[in-house]
Chains A and B, each alone.
Chain A
Amino acid sequence: MQYRAEVTIERKSGMLDPEGTTIKRALEHLGYHTNDIKTSKRYIIDLEEESSELAETKVDEMCQKLIANPMIHNYTIDLREV
Chain B
Amino acid sequence: MTIAIIQFGGSNCDLDVLHVLEDVVGTDAELVWYKEHDLDKYEAAIIPGGFSYGDYLRAGAIASRTPIMDSIKKMADEGKPIMGICNGFQILTESGLLDGALTTNEYPKFRCEWTNLRVETNDSPFTSAFKKGEVIRIPIAHMEGNFYADEATLSNMEDNDLVAFRYVDSEGHVTEEVNPNGSQENIAGTLSGNRNVMGLMPHPERASEEVLGSNDGIRMFKSMVEYISSR
Chain A residues in the interface with B (C-beta under 8 A): 11, 15-16, 18-19, 22, 65-67, 69, 71-72
Q: Cβ of B79: which chain A residues have Cβ within 8 Å of it? A: none
- CB atoms of A71 and B149 under 8 A apart: yes
> Which of these, B61, B65, B149, B182, contacts A16 with CB under 8 Å?
B182
- CB atoms of A72 and B65 under 8 A apart: no
- In the complex, what's the smallest C-beta–C-beta distance from B197 to chain A, in angstroms? 17
Q: Cβ of B65: which chain A residues have Cβ within 8 Å of it? A: 65-66
- CB atoms of B103 and A72 under 8 A apart: yes
B130 within 8 A of A: no
Q: Which of B65, B103, B105 has the most CB of A within 10 A?
A: B103
Residue of A with least CB distance to B94: A69
> Which of these, A18, A71, A72, contacts B107 with CB under 8 Å?
A18
Q: Cβ of B104: which chain A residues have Cβ within 8 Å of it? A: 16, 18-19
Q: Which of B58, B61, B94, B106 has the most CB of A within 10 A?
A: B58
Q: From known contacts A16-B182, A18-B106, A18-B108, infer whether A71 and B61 are also in contact, taking CB-CB under 8 Å.
A: no
Interface size class of B (residues with CB under 8 A): 10 to 19
In angstroms, Cα B101 to Cα A18, docked, is 15
In angstroms, Cα B132 to Cα A39, docked, is 40
- In the complex, what's the smallest C-beta–C-beta distance from A12 to chain B, in angstroms? 9
A-B contact count (CB 8 A): 35
Q: Which of B94, B105, B148, B149 has the most CB of A within 10 A?
A: B148
**What are 17 A-B pairs at a CB distance below 8 A?**
A15-B148, A16-B104, A16-B106, A18-B104, A18-B106, A18-B107, A18-B146, A18-B182, A19-B108, A22-B108, A67-B57, A69-B101, A71-B100, A71-B101, A71-B148, A71-B149, A72-B148
Residue of A with least CB distance to B108: A18
Within 8 A of A (CB), among B90-111: 94, 100-101, 103-108
In angstroms, Cα B103 to Cα A72, docked, is 9
In angstroms, Cα B148 to Cα A11, docked, is 12
Q: Which of A11, A15, A16 has the most CB of B within 10 A?
A: A16
Q: From known contacts A15-B148, A16-B182, infer whether A69 and B106 are also in contact, taking CB-CB under 8 Å.
A: no
- In the complex, what's the smallest C-beta–C-beta distance from A69 to chain B, in angstroms? 6
In angstroms, Cα B57 to Cα A65, docked, is 12
> Which of these, A16, A22, A71, contacts B150 with CB under 8 Å?
A71
- In the complex, what's the smallest C-beta–C-beta distance from A50 to chain B, in angstroms? 26
Q: Cβ of B149: which chain A residues have Cβ within 8 Å of it? A: 71
Interface bits B138-152 vs A (CB < 8 Å: 1, else 0): 000000001011100
- CB atoms of B146 and A16 under 8 A apart: yes
In angstroms, Cα B103 to Cα A27, docked, is 23
